[in-house]
């Protein structure tokens, strides 16, 4: 079978659903392809909640992107009637025996500096203030420092993807789910995408294939990208656990090389999601172990929860695995493919992409329509690796 469109979007997770919707909104004849049935649990865009905040400690280049995303999440809520963005605040804190108040590389300090630079509403909290406002963090050390951003919170990844795909279809987009891309070629006239079911002829292509990018994109992506397995845990709460009436999402540095992040207990669930990140062990789509064993849960609790978060038990309500596709400097790659014409790559996002996805979808749609976008995405060019 042969299918023609103006733009094909390959991969419909966070970074694919967003441009698909924005292109359909712009009146473009757009087609999306995914090897599974999004939203799904096979990639990187699942797990109930994702942190979002305006002061992004990973770098100043992200601030205007996430600002736009917050606007778009609210627009999508108005269109769909779904709750997508919970503005419960974000607490970034350092409570470590090795804490140095003069260490400019400390993540909490970097976050605070960006907030001051860009006029983002925030508060600086002492250890006493953290304990008073958020009882779940009563174990913090006396030297702890916190950054609280009331405008942050969390987004619901599965809902965000589902809403954008649904709206895109209502606007005329074509979706091919459960269909695997096998091969891509291009010339001056356009791009040919061969799947296991059909041939797609497109004027332009956006590739947002996540951990499948290594095998699909060829050089230099096959050596630049690595896939890292991540574990997510939902620990049951103690019967009389004390939490603030409105509890924040959090990023918690508690040792020289130790940090975790988590979310407020969701209504009716009786558990708290806590996770961390690892970048030392590599995996692949074919070898990714999607099961979490008891020893991993015990290690997570003993290292990142016990004595650090009050009111949380070691009992695991549920667990999950997702994959981060990571670049050498942990920043995004958003650029034209070096050898495929009319092809834009948006991967990998190194584990901190979801909060930016709505705005990047808008920018990628602009690139497809007019060849440029309103956001400055030059920091994410492939050229930085050659240099």
- Tens of pLDDT, residues 136-189: 999 999 999 999 999 999 999 999 999 999 999 999 999 999 999 999 999 989
Report the alpha-carbon distance of residue 39 to residue 248 in Å, rounded. Answer: 25
Helices H / strands E in the chain, number of each:
10, 20
Structure-derived torsion over alpha carbons of residues 172, 176, 182, 188, reported in degrees to the nearest 10: -10
Report the alpha-carbon distance of residue 283 to residue 325 in Å, rounded. Answer: 10
Strand, helix or coil at 279?
coil
Q: Which long-range contacts (CB under 8 A, 24 or more apart) does 266-271 make?
A: 266/48, 266/49, 269/234, 269/317, 270/236, 270/237, 270/317, 271/234, 271/235, 271/236, 271/237, 271/317, 271/318
Q: Which single residue is written with the structure tokens 């790559």?
A: 345
pTM of the model: 0.97
Phi, psi values for residue 80, rounded to 5°: -100, -20
* 16: nearest Cα among 346, 331, 326: 346
36 within 8 A of 42, measured Cβ to Cβ: yes
Identify the bridge partners of residue 297 per DSSP, sorted by sequence position. none
Could you please report the per-residue DSSP string of 231-246? EEEEEEEPTT----SS
Confidence at residue 102, expressed as pLDDT on a 0 to 100 scale: 81
Could you please report the per-residue DSSP string of 67-123? HHHHHHHHHHHHHH----EE---EEEEE--TT--TT-TT-HHHHHHHHHHHHT---E
Strand, helix or coil at 21?
helix
157 within 8 A of 45, measured Cβ to Cβ: yes
Take residue 39 and report the two structure tokens written for it: 């939203």
50 within 8 A of 193, measured Cβ to Cβ: no
47 within 8 A of 320, measured Cβ to Cβ: yes
Q: pLDDT higher for 225 or 347?
A: 225
pLDDT digits (tens, 9 = 90+) for 183-207: 999 998 999 999 999 999 999 999 9
Q: Do domains 2-53+157-219+329-386 and 90-150+226-326 have the same CATH topology?
A: no
**CA-to-CA separations, 315 to 99, 247, 272, 277, 307, in angstroms, rounded:** 30, 21, 11, 21, 15
33 within 8 A of 9, measured Cβ to Cβ: yes
What percentage of the chain reaches a pLDDT higher than 90?
A: 95
pLDDT-derived band of residue 103, with 50, 70 and 90 as boundaries?
A: confident
pLDDT digits (tens, 9 = 90+) for 106-144: 999 999 999 999 999 999 999 999 999 999 999 999 999
**Per-domain boundaries in the chain:** 2-53+157-219+329-386, 90-150+226-326
| Position 98 pLDDT exceeds 90 | no
In 311-334, which positions are buried (b, 16+ CB within 10 angstroms) versus exposed (e)?
bbbeebeebbbbbbbbbeebbbbb
* 368: nearest Cα among 192, 188, 206: 206
pLDDT digits (tens, 9 = 90+) for 293-345: 999 999 999 999 999 999 999 999 999 999 999 999 999 999 999 999 999 99
The fold for domain 90-150+226-326 equals D-Amino Acid Oxidase; Chain A, domain 2 (3.30.9)
Report the alpha-carbon distance of residue 63 to residue 257 in Å, rounded. Answer: 25
* 160: nearest Cα among 271, 252, 75, 272: 75
| Position 55 pLDDT exceeds 90 | yes
Confidence at residue 257, expressed as pLDDT on a 0 to 100 scale: 84
Confidence at residue 347, expressed as pLDDT on a 0 to 100 scale: 78
Q: What is the mean pLDDT of residues 75-85?
A: 98
The fold for domain 2-53+157-219+329-386 equals FAD/NAD(P)-binding domain (3.50.50)
């Amino acid at each position: 079978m042969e299918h023609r469109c103006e733009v094909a979007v390959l991969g419909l997770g966070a970074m694919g659903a967003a441009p698909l919707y924005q292109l359909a909104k712009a009146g473009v004849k757009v087609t999306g392809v995914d090897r599974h049935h999004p939203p799904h649990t096979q990639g990187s865009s699942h797990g109930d909640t994702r942190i979002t905040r305006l002061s992004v400690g990973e770098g100043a280049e992200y601030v205007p992107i996430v600002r736009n995303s917050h606007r778009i999440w609210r627009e999508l809520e108005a269109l769909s009637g779904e709750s997508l963005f919970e503005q419960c605040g974000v607490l970034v804190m350092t409570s470590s025996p090795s804490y140095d108040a003069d260490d400019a590389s400390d993540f909490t300090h970097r976050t605070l500096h960006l907030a001051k630079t860009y006029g983002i509403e925030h508060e600086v909290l002492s250890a006493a203030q953290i304990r008073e406002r958020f009882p779940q963090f009563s174990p913090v050390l006396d030297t702890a420092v916190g950054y609280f951003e009331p405008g942050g919170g969390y987004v619901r990844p599965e809902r965000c993807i589902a809403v954008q795909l649904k709206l895109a279809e209502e606007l005329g987009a074509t979706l091919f789910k459960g269909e695997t891309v096998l091969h891509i070629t291009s010339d001056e006239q356009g791009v040919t995408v061969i799947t296991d079911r059909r041939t797609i002829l497109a004027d332009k292509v956006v590739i947002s294939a996540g951990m499948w990018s290594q095998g699909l994109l060829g050089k230099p992506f096959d050596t630049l990208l690595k896939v890292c397995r991540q574990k997510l845990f939902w620990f049951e709460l103690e019967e009389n656990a004390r939490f603030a009436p409105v509890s924040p999402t959090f990023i918690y540095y508690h040792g020289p090389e130790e940090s975790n992040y988590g979310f407020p207990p969701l209504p009716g669930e009786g558990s708290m999601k806590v996770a961390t990140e690892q970048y030392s062990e590599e995996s692949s789509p074919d070898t990714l172990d999607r099961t979490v064993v008891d020893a991993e849960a015990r290690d997570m609790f003993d290292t990142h929860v016990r004595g650090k978060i009050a009111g949380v038990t070691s009992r695991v309500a549920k667990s999950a695995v997702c994959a981060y596709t990571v670049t050498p400097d942990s920043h995004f790659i958003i650029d034209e493919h070096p050898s495929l014409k009319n092809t834009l790559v948006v991967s990998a996002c190194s584990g901190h992409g979801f909060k930016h996805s709505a705005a990047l979808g808008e920018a990628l749609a602009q690139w497809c329509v007019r060849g440029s976008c309103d956001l400055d995405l030059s920091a994410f060019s492939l050229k930085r690796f050659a240099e």
